[in-house]
Amino acid sequence: MAVRRRTSIPNQTAAQPNPEPGGDPQPPNAAPPADEFSLAPPKLGLILSVLALFLIPFFYLLFVHYQIESDLRYYISIGVALSLVGFWVTVWLIPVAARYLLRRNMFGYDINKRGTPRGEVKVPETLGIVTAIVFLVVAIVLQLFTLTADSDWLVEYNAALACICFMTLLGFVDDVLDVPWRVKLVLPFFASLPLMMAYAGHTSIIIPKPLVPYVGLSVLDLGLIYKLYMIMLVIFCTNSINIHAGLNGLEVGQTVVISFAVLIHNLMQIGASSDIDYKQAHAFSIYMMLPLLTTSLGLLAFNWYPSSVFVGDTYTYFAGMSLAVVGILGHFSETLLLFFLPQVLNFLYSCPQLFGFVHCPRHRLPRFDPQTGLLTGTKDMNLVNLFLRLFGRCTEKSLCIRLLIFQALSCLMCFGLRYILAGWYK
Amino acid sequence: MVARRRQSIPDQTVRSSELTPSNYEAPPTEKEEFSLAAPKLGLMLSILALFLVPFIYFLFVRYPTEIDLRLSILVCIAISLCGFVATVLLVPVAARYLLRRNLFGRDINKKGTPRGAAKVPEALGIVTGIVFLVVAILVQLAVSFLQYNLTADSDWLVEYNAALACICFMILLGFVDDVLDVPWSVKLVLPFFSALPLVMAYAGHTSIIIPKPLVPYVGLSVLDLGLIYKVYMIMLVIFCTNSINIHAGINGLEVGQTVVISSAILIFNLMQIGASTDLDYKQAHVFSIYIMLPLLTTSLGLLAFNWYPSSVFVGDTYTYFAGMAIAVVGILGHFSETLLLFFLPQVLNFLYSCPQLFGIVPCPRHRLPRFDPQTGLLIGTSDMNFVNLFLRLFGQCTEKTLCIRLVIFQVFSCLLCFQLRSILAGWYK
């Protein structure tokens, strides 16, 4: 949700190229003046700590805890290396892109800082486009290393690429043109069509053991309904990240936590299994999630509180689609939904307002008090305000950290749940 | 080439969302301020008929093709026609949104007349691109569901998805270029990145057949290029996208040339299907048809508004998208040499433009002709491109006449290439 108020009338004092016919002092293709605008330095210390916090358990699981084939270890390590290159490219490109985006009046004002000097600053929007493009290039190059031309997974990989790319395109068009929200809702449907085409897996679900006597079957083939489920999953993942937003760093932060959890889950499944296809499915997910994690961290370096850039619907749609795609093609969509628990709860809690039973304002954001610098919860029915009402007022940064901790605890709980239920459930 | 001067200072009357937050999501109500001229549907439908008649003749009468194949191509035509209608419906809607976000230009070739002061919405190629993608996906879904494919789905699914990924990535980069106005050096290399999925997925032969007359000199009749062939593929993509981009600047020229080239490719595909018995070879050309038909119809939908006098401009989004789609079918359909023959005007224009492009001769921002508001005619400058060359060779004329002349030149080129291929086939291969 683009909660930053977008303005169509730009700041009149910003230097603009002269529109007079003859003298166009700034040729359209020249770079915008560099001295007018500079982004705050990226919060690299914080981001690199988060990266280390992830890489250590990841490498431990990859090399020490599990006996994984050496070529798989090799490919995953290449994945990490290329994704780290992607991280640095993202960090390098964002300031460049921000200048171009600002020049084209793609910016917003930070509503949660209104009344303070920072609330008057023009914050460049839609920097998710940088993350997405770097992600696509890294994912493509990574596949050059990990797949041969006749691999079975080339179909899935290209379908995933097409979907994520189409979603990014539609998200960017949305950010630029500001399409009505009804159109926004159905965009993910179109972007997921290549996936429907390519999905050649089983469309059957395993009935939980306790329910088998009631259903009469242990495996139920859903066929076309499963494809419908896939489309719903895509629409859900993209839009749920979009509505669980509005605080500096929340959109990217939740994606980082979820993709981290997915990566650990993938490694655990590879380590615990001996089925080649099953392992390949999770390896495929790793090859997509690693670039997502690192390019998102590159974006977070600028988007973490206080945000120097905003991510736009481009980012939330792109991230949601990537996660949905790996969940579907890796055949672990139920686990994915468990990781999405906060988003599910937020969506359910938001339903009355989303469907109009309760009045729904344009932005369901908390109220900011410039004097104290604290956010106060409103009556809006989303987790952001709920946390403020339950745990009291706090700064925007603390609130975001609390919500991300909730996301992390959710994922941990889901790991625990899965472990407990595995024997009982399947 | 974006020949239209882009504005950075927006119209002061654009409503700001700050003032009316509750109206934030209401569509722009400046309906009274802005409305697009009616699409030139009569002209477009005539062109469509002009193409469909020989196409359907070839498909049903001239060549004995399998019934499955005929039905699948009919399905493709049907869905592509829906794409035509969708494009015609969506262009005015998108134009309003694009104008609201200050994505517009002014028509330099009408400077001095009232039309030269009008704000013309830019980057409408985004509509064509998105409708194309949806149509292409629906065609594949339909054909696969009806099981009309000649070979197993999985053989072509890789190529098809790689093509989709490439074209989609190119549309994305093209639209980012139109919105952000990236420097031209970045513009040049964008197609390289978009082509990567293709290079990865290309599982065909990387060998070329040496022309018979040269065999004694080369010593081989078939030469395996391997990696160099992949480099050739990337060069082809970069060439196709950028060459359409520089053979531009006149109302309707970019879309017009694409319509001609894609029609030629479609006829060529049918001829190859009819003349061959190799299933894989036929599937390659069917695949090309599945991509070129949507390109043709969605481009015609755009041309309905872009033909002289242009109500909308197409943007780099369109030229990159079209160039990529055509390069992709040439590569995956294994007929890239024939494709280059169809691109003859673009090749000549590129070669002729080289001195200016490489800075040996001074190169102005726009290498456009000079417009005389009094007579309404264009006069050729000394710029080294076909637009100006035609004016210098054949004298001053209106913009519409010039565009028609250039499009006719494109048609004759393609006809010549059909002839050439027929003559050389025995001698060359």
Across the interface, of B102, B141, B157, the residue whose CB is closest to A105 is B102
pLDDT tens by residue, B317-338: 999 999 999 999 998 888 888 8
What is the rounded CA–CA span in Å between residue B148 and residue B150? 6
Position with higher pLDDT, A312 vs A1:
A312
Q: What was the pLDDT predicted at A8?
A: 33
Nearest residue in B to A150, CA atom: B203
Mean pLDDT of all residues in A202-231: 74
Residue A362 phi/psi, 5-degree rounding, is: -60, -50
User: CA separation (Å) from B398 to B105, B304, B390?
Assistant: 21, 19, 12
For residue B301, give how far its alpha carbon lies from the nearest alpha carbon of chain A (Å): 20
CA–CA min distance B188, chain A (Å): 13
* pLDDT reading at A298 higher than 90: yes
Residue B233 has pLDDT above 70, yes or no: yes
Q: Note whether A147 contacts B200, CB cutoff 8 Å.
A: yes
**Residue type for B350, please?**
F
Least confident of A127-136, A235-244, A416-425, B68-77: A416-425
pLDDT tier for residue A225 given thresholds of 50, 70 and 90? confident
| Residue A143: per-residue pLDDT | 83
**Would you call A143 an interface residue with chain B, using a CB distance cutoff of 8 Å?**
yes
User: For residue range A86-109, what is the model confidence (pLDDT) as tens digits?
Assistant: 999 999 999 999 999 999 999 999
Of the pLDDT bands very low, low, confident and very high (cuts 50, 70, 90), residue B150 is low
Q: Which residues of B touch A159 (CB under 8 A)?
A: 157, 161
Per the CB < 8 Å rule, is A193 touching B134?
Answer: yes
To the nearest whole angstrom, how far is the Cα of B149 from the nearest Cα of chain A?
Answer: 14
Residues, chain B: 429
Q: How far apart are CA B369 and CA B379, in angstroms?
A: 6
Q: Contact B101/A178, CB-based, under 8 Å?
A: yes
pLDDT at B27 over 50: no
Stretch B45-50: mean pLDDT = 91
A15/chain B closest Cα distance in angstroms: 10
- Given a cut of 50, whether residue B404 has pLDDT beyond it is yes
User: Which candidate in B172, B188, B229 is best for mutational testing of the A interface (most A CBs within 10 A)?
Assistant: B172
Contact with chain B for residue A23, Cβ under 8 A: no
Alpha helices per DSSP H over B146-278: 153-180, 184-201, 215-218, 227-246, 253-275
A275 or B266, higher pLDDT: B266
Residue A210: C-alpha distances to residues A334, A335, B171 (Å): 17, 19, 50
Which band of pLDDT confidence, cut at 50, 70 and 90, is reported for residue A50? very high
A28 contacts chain B (CB < 8 A): yes
Q: Highest mean pLDDT range out of A182-196, A306-320, A362-376, B195-209? A: A306-320
Quick check: B166 pLDDT over 80?
yes
Q: A147: which chain B residues are within 8 Å (Cβ-Cβ)?
A: 200
Q: Is B146's pLDDT higher than 80?
A: no
Q: How far is A199 from chain B (nearest CA, A)?
A: 11
Pairwise CB contact (< 8 Å): A362 & B175: no
Mean pLDDT over residues A343-353, rounded?
Answer: 93
**Residues of A whose CB is below 8 A from B176:** 129, 133, 172
**Nearest residue, CB atoms, A154 vs list B169, B196, B201:** B201
Least confident residue range of A5-9, A242-246, B342-346 = A5-9
Structure tokens at B408: 């006719």
B7 torsion bin: left (phi>0), alpha (psi -120 to 50), beta (else)? beta
Q: Give me the helices (H) in A222-310, please.
A: 224-243, 250-272, 276-303
Mean pLDDT on B178-197: 86
Instruction: Give me B163's structure tokens.
Output: 């093509």
List the one residue out of A122, A130, A168 whose CA is nearest residue A8.
Answer: A122
- Grade residue A204 by pLDDT with cuts at 50, 70 and 90: low
CB contact under 8 A, A190 and B24: no
Of A28, A179, A197, the CB nearest to B140: A197
| pLDDT of B21 higher than 50 | no
Query: Which residues, numbered 353 to 392 in chain A, qualify as contacts with chain B under a Cβ-Cβ cut-off of 8 Å?
Result: 362
Cα B385 to Cα A147, A316, A321, B323, B382, distances in angstroms: 44, 44, 44, 19, 9
pLDDT of res. A197: 74
Per-residue pLDDT at B163: 92
Mean pLDDT of B291-303: 96
Give the β-pairing of B222-224 and A367-369: unpaired
- Confidence at residue B336, expressed as pLDDT on a 0 to 100 scale: 86
Residue B346 confidence (pLDDT):
95
Better-scored residue on pLDDT, A410 or B7: A410
Task: Check residue B28 and give its pLDDT.
Answer: 46
Question: Which chain A positions have a beta carbon within 8 Å of B7's beta carbon?
Answer: 19
pLDDT greater at residue A35 or residue B52: B52
Out of B89-98, B272-281, B287-296, least confident range: B272-281
Please give the ipTM for the structure prediction: 0.86
Q: Which residues of B touch A106 (CB under 8 A)?
A: 179
Q: Tell me, what's the pLDDT at B302?
A: 96
Give the model's pLDDT for residue A311.
96
Does residue B13 surpass a pLDDT of 50? Answer: no
| A155 to chain B: closest CA residue | B158
Chain centroid, CA B120 distance in Å: 21
pLDDT digits (tens, 9 = 90+) for A267-282: 999 988 888 888 888 9
A27-52 average pLDDT score: 74
Give the pLDDT of residue B345: 94
Establish whether the linkage from the previous residue to B27 is cis, with ω within 30° of 0.
no
**Worst-scoring range by mean pLDDT, A62-71, A213-222, B146-155?**
B146-155
| A 104-123 near B (Cβ less than 8 A) | 104-106
Answer yes or no: is pLDDT of B276 > 70.
Answer: yes
| Structure letter (DSSP) for residue A205 | E
Q: What is the CA radius of gyration of chain B?
A: 22
Give the count of Cβ contacts less than 8 A between chain A and B. 165
Answer for the pair A100, A39: CB distance below 8 angstroms, yes or no: no
Q: Does A20 touch chain B (CB under 8 A)?
A: no
Q: Distance (Å, rounded) from C-alpha A293 to C-alpha B339?
A: 41
- Using the predicted structure, report yes or no on whether residue A322 has a pLDDT greater than 80: yes
Which residues of B fall within a CB distance of 8 Å from A4? none
Tell if the CB–CB gap between B21 and A5 is shorter than 8 Å. yes
**Measured distance CA(B286)–CA(B270) in Å, rounded:** 8
Q: Give me the pLDDT at residue A24, please.
A: 35
